[in-house]
Structure 1
Amino acid sequence: MKRLVTCLFVLSLVACEHPASRPSTSEEQSSDMVEEMDINIIADKFIENMFVSSPEMSTFYQAENADNVNLADISPAGIQAKQDAQDRLYRALVAINTGQLNKNDFVTYQLLKTELEGEINTRVCKRHLWSNNHLDAFFTWYQYIGQTQPVGDDTSRADALMRWSKIPAYIKNDMLNNRKGLNTGYALPRPVVKRVIGQMQQLLTMPIEDTPFYLPALRDDNPEFQQKMRAEIENNIMPVLKKYLTFMQQEYLPQARPNLSIAAIPNGAECYNAMLSAATTLSNTPAEIFAWGEESLAERETMIKSLGKKLYGTADLPAIYEAFGKDPTNYYKNKEELLAEAQAAIDRAKEKSRDYFNLFPKSDVILKPISDLEKETGYSRYLAASDDGSRPATYVQATYPAHKKIKGEVESVAFHETYPGHHLQIAISRELLVSHPVTKYLGNSGFSEGWARYTETLADEIGLYSSDNHRIAMYKGLPTGMVVDPGIHFKNWSRDEAINYVLSKQSSFSKEEAERYVDRIAVWPGQMTTYGVGERFFINLRKQAEARLGDAFDIKEFHDVCLQNGTVPLDFVVAEVNEYLQQKAN
């Protein structure tokens, strides 16, 4: 459910890129059988289909006329219906004469095309057959639905209880899907299964009031509603969850695959290429991305050596890492200090980032600590505001274990997730609303994570880091995902090989953190490459613009051109910057 990604201006990053192939769909595609539709009608239909197939998303976004009663239909018939709807939209989309579209409509077209092609091309992966992992398991989503499910009046309470009464059937379908996956070669890796089992055990043993399923009742003071919600969870949801746990322990775990690589599932290589392309919006090969990763790591290590020479009198990386690790001032005393300094970093970034952007979000972002359920397994992340403005944008800060969290890393992640990273970029795209409203819901990891990663080093340029120690901490966050991700899924590294590589490069990682990092890559193939690939993209794009414009280069204008159309495919950003440079030259 979470799955909430042109060579006109030649960049070294995309010089070898080839146009993405048009995907085949489950129905015959024939352009002469498709009547050309208006792009905005197609976009309207896309939103409608999205909320029909995933009603929970309409609740999360608090969309107008949201469906607060139903749940996604993940039965075979429901999945097929969703795919058929996507196919119909894709045929209508590619029948459009793009030469007749205005600029705003062309942005809508590009976003829809990228999204639909990604969805269609990654069907080969059959993700619904290996969905019960520690990051995407159905229960992880209810902490967000529970926080946004309307309550407070009789109608809302009735809707909530009706939706909650459908959760057991959803869980049963999810278990059936994963049982089918287990029996047809789509088993999850054993370490991931163990993590999920641990989460399920925690859910079943914690007090009902502490589970994500009970969240709507915590937001409503009606005793009868609270009693009914508790009864639904105890009598119907938990028994089915217990059966699912038994299945995972007794049937799934013994047959879980020993290796992490997605190559182990049917059509695994094709699946990885599709997921990699969908995530980055580029068509570069795993081998190319692996090579870029090694180059990018070397560049960051050069910066670390320079700072190490200044601070510790040595350019030897192991010596720098040792001196850094032994400095007690690099660590927090407790969770409260961590949260206070994270908030201070956000406030500082919000103020100073204005000097680098003309476009700036009107909405703010609030800081919240990660939930107890995810405390030991979750990551810091950004959640966009609701459509109606009732729920602000939120930065969820990981805090465990606080005394081992490195101050400079917390600062850089705060900049990555808020200003000038995710919040600035995503809030701008949602507030501009120049193109169709569908642009609020579409994006790609290559742009969004690449932008956020670019802004970690931009924050250094702005002067946001508190000390040179904190700057070292940021540069120590090497883009190992560009190497480890294809290392696992393309080069078939073992889990131990991947963990050892991470530990050899990410000096601040504990073995537990390296294991979590590697297991994340195992269940989200391609996604971890997007940080480094996108960062490399924006850095190279800026260098090209600076070289071409010289003294006429304006950093605010460059950033605005990159952000003004929302989270678009990266090749479209190239075209936009190329057009801007031509206009500037004229």
Structure 2
Amino acid sequence: MKKVSAALLASLAAACVLQAPPLYAATANPADARLRTIYETEWKWRLQQRQEDEEDDTNGIRANLPKVDAATQLARQRYWENVLKQLDGVAANKLSPAEQVNFAVYRSQVAALVANQRFREYEKPLNADSAFWSNMTYEARKPFRTKKDYTNYIAQLNDVPRYFGEQVVNMRAGLARGFTPPKVTLAGRDASLKVVAEAKPEDTAFYQPFKAMPATIPAEEQAALRAAALQAIKDKVIPAHAQLLAFMRDEYVPKSTVNLAAESLPDGKAYYQSKIVEFTTTDLSADQIHQIGLAEMAKIRAEMAQVMKEVKFDGDLPAFLTFLRTDPRFYAKTPEELLMRAAWIAKKFDGKAERYFGRLPRSRFAIIPVPPEQAPYYTSGRGGPGVYLVNTYNLPARALYSLPALTLHESAPGHAFQMPVALEQKGRPAFRNAYISAYGEGWALYAERLGTEMGIYETPYEVFGMLSYQAWRASRLVVDTGIHAKGWTREQAQRYLMENTALSQHEVETEVDRYISWPGQALSYYLGEMAIVEARKKAEAALGDKFDIRPFHDTVLELGSVPLPVLKARIDRFIAEGGKGPYGAES
């Protein structure tokens, strides 16, 4: 299988160093035209496949759920393999600088899609963190503005039995070849199915869009839409969840693999390496990443020791971690307190943003609690366009000293800031809005470190919370590779996190299960942050007094999700242009 390599990405991205025309200007270049034909045709097809959401008059709310049956999946594989062949016929060295960047991003993206199809990832459509059925509730949170939005959504609800049925067939195929999440990571994950299976239609998340409908829809039409939604939920959605719940309890979980390592799965070594390539956009091996993690952990522990001296703690690191985990001063008493503290931190950022960023996103975000049916096994927070989810479940596990770092990561200037900046760029091919984990998670982790410069951390304990989060991500390099390539046990991974971070026992358990069931994703964060930090250091050294943090940040964010070699090359161009930002005088 031909994967996009780091060396290829670097060579393709090298054009970013050149003095380029406006990034997305149209050209008459025949190579550009050929590439555009390939990615525009494929993207249109991908939208038809329901592999992506389209921003149109339906707000991405369409009248059907995607087809996921095996025949459709094989057809997708063949289609993307053909796209790769077409890309091999593009003269990359003749592309304009802007299209060379597009080529590097697009080929990496399609190569990952092909790998997922070849390894039949669709036969494992769940992990300890999320699943195809829980992901459906996000559709109900989209903005509903027109009657068409509602009629399309009702059609989706009626399509749930077909969609769930195809997923179950795929999951049975995965069971037959031992390709499942490890059984230990699935315990209790059917709770979100049980909530729906036993609920009244009007109490489910699926009915939420119908509780407050736009006044532009006449009252009698609203009533008809509500009735149709309740009927669909009652007759289709709830029974489908009940059947899936029985399948999970009686067949899937009992027969799931007991092995933890991705390398123990079918064609495991190649499979895990494909996840490394996908999530890090590098060709690093598991051994190399493991060693990087160990080295970075040593540096962070030295920083932790300095904070312990500052607070005059009389004891070693394990004793300090126990103190942080058990002293009630560090924990909120109510969910509302946790949410309000998160909001306060987010507003502190707003007051400092203009000194660090030349261009701010137009999009704002809400701060809301994680839905209760997901919260027990969900991360501490999650952010994206328009939302910062804060987990208020099990408050003794949600340390306030870690909340500033969490907020910077998930809200602003992290995910709820970075993603809208990218989405608001004009004239960029639609595929560029797809998320690349190494870039997106790397930026969000960099945002946590940036909080020290911005004055967000007000106490040494909050600084330690940031360092604990840095250690958490660096330790993932050790733990993920340890589990999936070096035979680590679940207990060994949990112990490593407990000994090296201030995470609570509950967080450690849910996080380790997430790494076990989602190979490679945990590697994105720290390797991505390292790339941004190294690029910044290079720019600071080269530009000296000319270096301005605002155009640097604007340059990184304007680029959007890209493989790490493309990011590095773009900062080389930033240096060559004398530190000029993408927005000129506005940066």
TM-score range, shorter chain: 0.7 to 0.9
- Tell me the SS of whatever aligns to 1:520: helix
Q: Does residue 495 of structure 1 match 2:490?
A: yes
Alignment of 1:395-410 (within 5 A): 395-410=388-403
- 1:427-446 correspondence runs (5 A): 427-439=420-432, 441-446=433-438
Amino acid at match of 1:485: D
Q: Is the 8 A contact 1:305 1:315 kept in 2?
A: no
| SS of corresponding position for 2:377 | coil
Q: Secondary structure at the match of 1:88?
A: helix
Aligned to 1:54: 50
Q: What pairs with 1:275-314 in structure 2 (closer than 5 Å)?
A: 275-314=275-314
Q: Which runs of 5+ in 2 are unaligned?
A: 12-29, 214-218, 581-587
Following TM superposition, by how much is the alpha carbon of 1:55 offset from its aligned partner in structure 2, in angstroms? 6.5
1:535 correspondence with 2:529: yes
Query: Residue by residue, what CA displacement relative to the aligned partner does 1:297-355 show, whole Å, maximum 9, x if unpaired?
Result: 22221111111101124573123324433443321121111111111111111221321
SS class of match (2:570): helix
Deviation, structure 1 residue 467: 1.6
- Does 2:554 align with 1:554? no
SS state at 1:45 partner: helix
Q: CA deviation at 1:425?
A: 2.1
1:41 to 37, 46, 61: 37
Whole-angstrom distance in 1 between the partners of 2:494 and 2:396: 23
Give the letter for the 1:85 counterpart.
Answer: Y
Aligned to 1:383: 384
Partners of 2:302 and 2:65 lie apart in 1 by 50
Taking the aligned partners of 1:468 and 1:203, their CA distance within structure 2 comes to 44
Equivalent residue number for residue 524 of structure 1: 518
User: Which residue of 1 is the match for residue 407 of structure 2?
Assistant: 414
Identity between Structure 1 and Structure 2 (%) = 24
- The structure 1 residue matched to 2:500, chosen from 490, 501, 505, is 505
Matching residue of 1:133: 127
Q: Is the 8 A contact 2:197 2:239 kept in 1?
A: no
TM-superposed CA distance for 1:189, in Å, is: 1.0
> Which of 543, 553, 574 is the equivalent residue of 1:580?
574
Q: Which amino acid aligns with 1:246?
A: A
Contact map agreement 1:151 1:219 (CA 8 A) in 2: no
Larger deviation, residues 156-165 vs 135-144: 156-165
1:423 aligns with 2:409: no
Q: How far off is 1:551 after superposition?
A: 3.4
C-alpha distance 490-219 of structure 1, shift in aligned 2 (>3 A): farther
What do you get for the CA RMSD once the two structures are aligned? 2.8
Deviation at 1:126, TM superposition (A): 1.4
Q: Distance in 1 between matches of 2:460 and 2:51?
A: 47
Quote the residue 1:3 is aligned against: none
Shift of 1:410: 1.5
2:484 is aligned with what amino acid?
H
Q: How does 1:51-130 map to 2 (within 5 A)?
A: 51-54=47-50, 57-58=53-54, 61=55, 66=60, 68-130=62-124
One-letter amino acid of the counterpart of residue 376, structure 2: E
Q: Give CA deviations for 1:530-549 in whole Å, capped at 9, x if unaligned.
A: 11111122222222333333
Question: Structure 2: which amino acid aligns with 1:532?
Answer: Y
How far apart are residue 152 of structure 1 and its match?
5.3
Cα distance in structure 1, aligned partners of 2:196 and 2:137: 12
Which residue number corresponds to residue 161 of structure 1? 154
The 8 Å contact of residues 84 and 107 in structure 2, kept in 1 or not, is answered as: yes
Stretches of structure 1 lacking an aligned partner (at least 5 in a row):
1-5, 8-16, 23-33, 385-392
CA distance in 2, matches of 1:199, 1:499: 25
Q: TM-score, normalised by structure 1?
A: 0.87
Name the CA shift for 1:46/1:349 in 2 (closer, same or farther; >3 Å). Answer: farther
The Cα of 1:455 is off from its aligned counterpart by: 1.2
Structure 1 residue 250, shift from structure 2 partner: 2.0
> Are the aligned partners of 2:552 and 2:579 in contact in 1 as well (CA < 8 Å)?
no
| Normalised TM-score (structure 2) | 0.87
Output the CA distance in 2 between the equivalents of 1:296 and 1:565.
27
Tell me if the contact between 1:193 and 1:248 (Cα under 8 Å) persists in the aligned partners: no
AA at the equivalent of 1:122: N
Whole-angstrom CA distance in 2 between matches of 1:252 and 1:65: 35
The aligned amino acid for 2:503 is S
- What's the offset of the Cα at 1:230? 2.2
How many residues are treated as equivalent by the alignment?
548
Q: AA paired with 1:45?
A: T
Q: Is residue 408–residue 470 contact of structure 1 (8 Å, CA) maintained in 2?
A: yes
| Distance change >3 Å, CA 251–CA 328, structure 1 → 2 | closer
Q: Is the 8 A contact 1:55 1:71 kept in 2?
A: no
CA contact (8 A) 2:31 2:91 kept: no
CA contact (8 A) 2:275 2:520 kept: yes
Secondary structure of the structure 1 residue equivalent to 2:367: strand
